[in-house]
Structure 1
Amino acid sequence: MLDGCVARPQEEIDRYRAAGYWTGEPLGAALRRWAATHRDRTALVGEGRRISYAGLDSWADRLAAGLRGLGIGPGDRVVVQLPNAPDFVAVCFGLFRLGAVPVFSLPAHRSYEVRHLCELSGAVAHVVPGSQRGFDHVGMSVALRKEVPSLRHTLVVGEPRPGTPGDVVLLDGLTGHPGKAYAPDPTDAAFFLLSGGTTALPKLIPRTHDDYGYQIRATAEVCGLGPQTVYLAVLPVEFNFTWGCPGILGTLHAGGTVVFAPDPSPDTCFPLIAAERVTLTSVVPTIAHLWMGGNEHARHDLSSLALLQIGSAKLHRHVAEQVRPVLGCALQQVFGMAEGLLTMTRRDDPDDVVLATQGRPVSPADVIRVADPVTGERAEPGEVGELVTRGPYTLRGYYRAPEHNRTAFTDDGFFRSGDLVRLTARGDLVVEGRVKDVVIRGGDKVSATELEGHLTRHPRVAQAAVVAVPDPALGEAICACVMPDGDPPGMPELRCMLRESGVADFKLPDLLEIYDAFPLTGLGKVDKKALAADAAGRRAARGEENH
């Protein structure tokens, strides 16, 4: 077990193996098997390249040999910071075959975040693009090597800028001897995902060969993937959603084709859907809203798109209802976390379930509890509480975070997610918000997610986000941040609509701020910390002291 990872009890490992959830197959070996089965089929499409399964398999071997020649080997951590392109997949599988452990970093990360990931993981190398949207990732990486003692190599995909120091390593030119095949312990960390928090630097989530292999098989089965599947990777490839829910790896497991979108705009994605006959993709609500706005969808043939997965943030019902009429495809709501648990609606679920819930767990071995977030006692059926979970692909602890793990996990290994949920009588999950996503207004707790759902029912509100703004009288005032659709609504109009909807007076917004666009986190969610700071700054600039 990699030092800093939390091991599972042996009894649990034995139980998952006996049930067939864990097969003991390392991810590097899985690609070998997929390539033997689907040899000449197209595996990856991106940046003008089409790579077969056999081509991907041999590419991963070449990279493994070259990286071994640099002294990178079993247990070494390597920060991989690449955009949506086939190289990301090849690099990760090359590292898997060495027994090295990729640490995912978003292309939008800068030196502050990347330094944290390198120091926390003890990374020996950093993989970056030669050029990405005008930012000098190579220069950043070279500078970090002077600050992080463990960091020895800057590995570059593509050509770096002129004047780059000569000690960077171009991955395309790497050569080396294949060496002896390495067989990692399948219960050990295969790679690190990042926690999705917006208020602090991310924690590292170790995902093992066994647990992630099971995750991609289970989700591919739920989604009905097969060789005919064409998956469009829209969100960053470093996201759990994109990488394996079922995403890229689930599609490769099924023998399908993965197409990479360099950005999520309709101008980019709709032509790719039409040209590659994409059948499946996964997006967050903000992107879904963007795709359904305007009439861009009417100019392209999207008839191949059979299923649109939407997850990562609350999808309000009236938005969900637009997916089939506007885009012509089925909707699948997904709730998931990089830490593990995934729930999904199914294709044969009733409309009310698909439109208003986040479905059921993908594994029969997933255990869910809904607990009072203060006392930890089980909530009554139908009541809202914190989601607490354990299962064959849910972690037992964050990497090198013993103090946090003591509060994030129960004594019997359940993960306290911080998500507020309830279960329907049928057993479907409904996400109601986050434990901490509340405004405490004069002692009353107001759910931001609940109020956002009401606000977006206004015909001239495209998107809404509710944040807390400091207030001398109330402690926190409720600020409604609105992206309008047409003329912005005024506060009296919004309050009147909310009252007519039966919203209690103490939940009504105190402040209204109009935005053209919301700040987003690297995970594509509304950055409420930045939004709250901006709203407070606007208020201060106007000289307002009271609501």
Structure 2
Amino acid sequence: MSHNGESGDIRHGARGDGVVPYGDDDVRRYRALGLWNRTSLPAEIDAALAGHGDRPAVVTHTARWSYRELRDQVRTFASGVLAATALRPGDAVMFQMGNVEDTVVSYLGALTAGLRPVCTLPQHGAREVGLLARHIGAAGLFTQTDFGKGQLPDIARALLADGTVTSVVEARGHAVDGATGYDAVMAAGRDAGWGPVAAEHNGIALFQLSGGTTGLPKVAPRQHEEYVYNAKAWAHALGWGPDTVALYPLPLMHNAGIALALQPVLFAGGTLVLAPSADTHTLLDLIEAERPTTLPLVPPALAIRLLEEPRTRTVDLSTIRDFIVGGQRLAVEVAARLHRELGIAVRQMFGMAEGMFTLTPADAGEYARYHTVGQPICALDEIRIVDPATNEEILDDTVGELCVRGPYTIRGYYRAPEHNQRAFTADGFYRTGDLCRRHVIDGQTMYSIDGRIKDVINRGVEKIHAEEIEELILTHPGVANAALVAMPDAVLGERACAYLIMEPGATALTVATLAEHLSARGVAKYKLPERVEIRERFPLSNVGKVSKKALREDIEATLRCEQRAAVQPARTGAPQ
């Protein structure tokens, strides 16, 4: 595997702005090869908006804008936010907005004004947003008053009251005293007129979040040149162009929404159809109305819901060339059913806020599509698979930790020197914490993601890889979805608990019947789940993944209740 040719531990090299820089040799190489082009992200976006005129750019449930119209909106917002608020170029701004056109304009307008968006989600609470804002030093918050049940104004008030932020821009309503309305920003922009703001191409463009937000936030500072290339490389890998219509149902203000959907679509001159939610009927309505050519990210849970919805079989899906599943491992049987029942030949992807994207090639065979996440989208992406205990590189077809480096993968988290010592190697590879395996299929190198290091259940001295067992559980015809989590045990440390969603009309599995099914498939006895919980739905994270954290908390709470119930009668009957 190649190295950057520079000596020393780059993790100690954070600049004064809190960013661990790319090595000088890497920067020269990326620019010489044309991957980086010394242009800022807002300049690239403005050029894309200028280049496609009256072609449709963005469709939401309340707007349909051409590239020309979107450019006018973005420039007006950019001028207005600097005229109507105290925000200035270089300031970071938090986001709590849903999938509406105001979010598209606010994000692109913030970049154009020289602000640095922080891609937080509307589902984040006041504590999480406040923690992140203080860590980054954010000055502003852009919020959407009518999102969900109207909970976001309370968060904005709290952050203003304690001085965490000093400026709030409020879209789609007026509920926060001291906030500047979105309409007022646009009016100020029209009065001020357009004046471009220069942006340094080698600085921070925006911030993306990685993982949880408890304790010290893990914040990925994405820089102008690399983030432009990230989006362009994704669009190129998929062959996107002006005829592309991408339907995106997940939260826009997330790395997936920005780097897999909005920016690559705009750079390709295509159309982004932004769904207000991942509701199945809403998606089917949009497929019928907008005839998308691609769904650039579909979590497995959403794919399963589409399979379970009878109406899906009545909708014409023939325009969908790429149905890309990612976020969590897709069960082979679900992939097979999508093809068999809906005529969808899935592709899989793997990505992260830190950078690296992989994708199964368009010409990949069924085995690669069903069992792998393909290969990196750039020839200069570098992958190591190492033994987590020894850090030694391991052989093909052996599971180890995925470590990545490349022209759009960060070299360190923002203002996190201690965490960077653990999360990055001395020569700049990001240690993802994902368990990975390298395969050679039809002469091509492909990769599979076989779980998380922390998704290994430690039962005494034995280790159980959750995704291995989940995939085998899903071969049972009565099981619609499965999640295996660790439950605490006083003797062994952890035991396996299987959460199941049964197919309609199927008999619920028990520990015994599930063990019978798994044993018939050669599963070792120590890997068999020792508890089964049946649910109608699984809790999902903010981006549509099954939340194993919530399931672990659920089983821990259930066990505590059972322990209290077992102790209480004994105390009641004890002699006084």
Q: TM-score range by the shorter chain?
A: over 0.9
Runs of 4+ off more than 6 Å: none
Say if 2:387 is the partner of 1:372.
yes
Of 416, 440, 445, the residue aligned with 1:427 is: 445
Q: 1:37: Cα distance to partner?
A: 1.8
**Deviations 1:111-133, CA, capped at 9 Å, x for gaps:** 11111121111111100102112
Taking the aligned partners of 2:452 and 2:120, their CA distance within structure 1 comes to: 24
Q: 1:187: Cα distance to partner?
A: 2.4
Of 29, 38, 47, the residue aligned with 2:61 is: 47
Of 85, 88, 111, the residue aligned with 1:73 is: 88
Taking the aligned partners of 1:186 and 1:532, their CA distance within structure 2 comes to: 44
Instruction: Identify if the C-alpha distance between structure 1 residues 119 and 261 changes in structure 2 by more than 3 Å, giving closer, same or farther.
Output: same
Question: Comparing 269-278 with 510-519, which one deviates more in the overlay?
Answer: 510-519
Percent identity over paired residues: 37
One-letter code of the match for 2:156?
S
**Deviations 1:234-279, CA, capped at 9 Å, x for gaps:** 111123222222x121111111111111111211011101101111
Question: Comparing 174-183 with 392-401, which one deviates more in the overlay?
Answer: 174-183
Say if 2:110 is the partner of 1:95.
yes
Task: Show the counterpart of 1:63.
Answer: 77
Taking the aligned partners of 2:448 and 2:199, their CA distance within structure 1 comes to: 38
Task: Show the counterpart of 1:356.
Answer: 371
Q: 1:90: Cα distance to partner?
A: 1.3
Task: Show the counterpart of 1:152.
Answer: 166
1:338 is paired with a residue whose SS is coil
Instruction: Identify if the C-alpha distance between structure 1 residues 460 and 390 changes in structure 2 by more than 3 Å, giving closer, same or farther.
Output: same
One-letter code of the match for 2:486?
A
Q: 1:328: Cα distance to partner?
A: 2.7
Q: 1:200: Cα distance to partner?
A: 5.8
Q: 1:403: Cα distance to partner?
A: 0.7
Taking the aligned partners of 1:170 and 1:9, their CA distance within structure 2 comes to: 43
One-letter code of the match for 2:550?
A
Taking the aligned partners of 1:397 and 1:196, their CA distance within structure 2 comes to: 14
Taking the aligned partners of 1:421 and 1:200, their CA distance within structure 2 comes to: 27
Q: TM-score, with normalisation over the residues of structure 2?
A: 0.91
Of 33, 37, 40, the residue aligned with 1:19 is: 33
Say if 2:377 is the partner of 1:342.
no
Task: Show the counterpart of 1:446.
Answer: 464
Q: Does the aligned pair in 2 maintain the 1:142–1:154 contact within 8 Å? A: no
Taking the aligned partners of 2:415 and 2:462, their CA distance within structure 1 comes to: 37
Of 484, 503, 506, the residue aligned with 1:466 is: 484
Q: Does the aligned pair in 2 maintain the 1:113–1:201 contact within 8 Å? A: no
Q: 1:337: Cα distance to partner?
A: 0.8
Q: 1:202: Cα distance to partner?
A: 4.4
Task: Show the counterpart of 2:396.
Answer: 381
2:346 is paired with a residue whose SS is strand
Unmatched 5+ residue regions in structure 1? none
Q: 1:137: Cα distance to partner?
A: 1.0
Of 165, 170, 173, the residue aligned with 2:181 is: 170
One-letter code of the match for 1:215?
N
Task: Show the counterpart of 2:559.
Answer: 539
Task: Show the counterpart of 1:116.
Answer: 131
Of 185, 190, 193, the residue aligned with 2:205 is: 190
Q: Does the aligned pair in 2 maintain the 1:389–1:414 contact within 8 Å? A: yes
Task: Show the counterpart of 1:138.
Answer: 153
- CA RMSD across the alignment: 1.8
Q: TM-score, with normalisation over the residues of structure 1?
A: 0.95
Of 498, 502, 512, the residue aligned with 1:484 is: 502
1:397 is paired with a residue whose SS is coil
One-letter code of the match for 1:88?
T
Say if 2:235 is the partner of 1:220.
yes
Q: Does the aligned pair in 2 maintain the 1:118–1:148 contact within 8 Å? A: no
1:403 is paired with a residue whose SS is helix
Q: Does the aligned pair in 1 maintain the 2:95–2:122 contact within 8 Å? A: no
Taking the aligned partners of 2:16 and 2:275, their CA distance within structure 1 comes to: 34
Taking the aligned partners of 1:199 and 1:152, their CA distance within structure 2 comes to: 23
Q: 1:366: Cα distance to partner?
A: 0.4
One-letter code of the match for 1:483?
I
1:428 is paired with a residue whose SS is strand
One-letter code of the match for 2:310?
N
Question: Comparing 532-541 with 67-76, which one deviates more in the overlay?
Answer: 532-541
Task: Show the counterpart of 2:7.
Answer: none
Q: 1:415: Cα distance to partner?
A: 0.6
Of 530, 535, 540, the residue aligned with 1:520 is: 540
Residues 255-266 of structure 1 mapped to structure 2, 5 A cutoff: 255-266=269-280
Instruction: Identify if the C-alpha distance between structure 1 residues 4 and 183 changes in structure 2 by more than 3 Å, giving closer, same or farther.
Output: same
Q: 1:201: Cα distance to partner?
A: 6.7
Q: Does the aligned pair in 1 maintain the 2:76–2:194 contact within 8 Å? A: no
Q: 1:74: Cα distance to partner?
A: 2.1
1:305 is paired with a residue whose SS is coil
Instruction: Identify if the C-alpha distance between structure 1 residues 534 and 456 changes in structure 2 by more than 3 Å, giving closer, same or farther.
Output: same
Q: Does the aligned pair in 2 maintain the 1:31–1:57 contact within 8 Å? A: no
Give the number of aligned pairs.
Answer: 541
Q: 1:329: Cα distance to partner?
A: 3.0
Question: Comparing 359-368 with 196-205, which one deviates more in the overlay?
Answer: 196-205
One-letter code of the match for 2:539?
P
Of 118, 142, 157, the residue aligned with 1:127 is: 142
Of 304, 327, 331, the residue aligned with 2:319 is: 304
Q: Does the aligned pair in 2 maintain the 1:84–1:233 contact within 8 Å? A: no
Say if 2:246 is the partner of 1:235.
no
Of 319, 323, 326, the residue aligned with 2:341 is: 326
Say if 2:496 is the partner of 1:475.
no
Instruction: Identify if the C-alpha distance between structure 1 residues 199 and 370 changes in structure 2 by more than 3 Å, giving closer, same or farther.
Output: farther
Q: Does the aligned pair in 2 maintain the 1:358–1:428 contact within 8 Å? A: yes
Question: Comparing 87-96 with 276-285, which one deviates more in the overlay?
Answer: 87-96
One-letter code of the match for 1:315?
L
Q: 1:476: Cα distance to partner?
A: 1.0
One-letter code of the match for 2:542?
G
Task: Show the counterpart of 1:210.
Answer: 225
Unmatched 5+ residue regions in structure 2? 1-14, 567-576
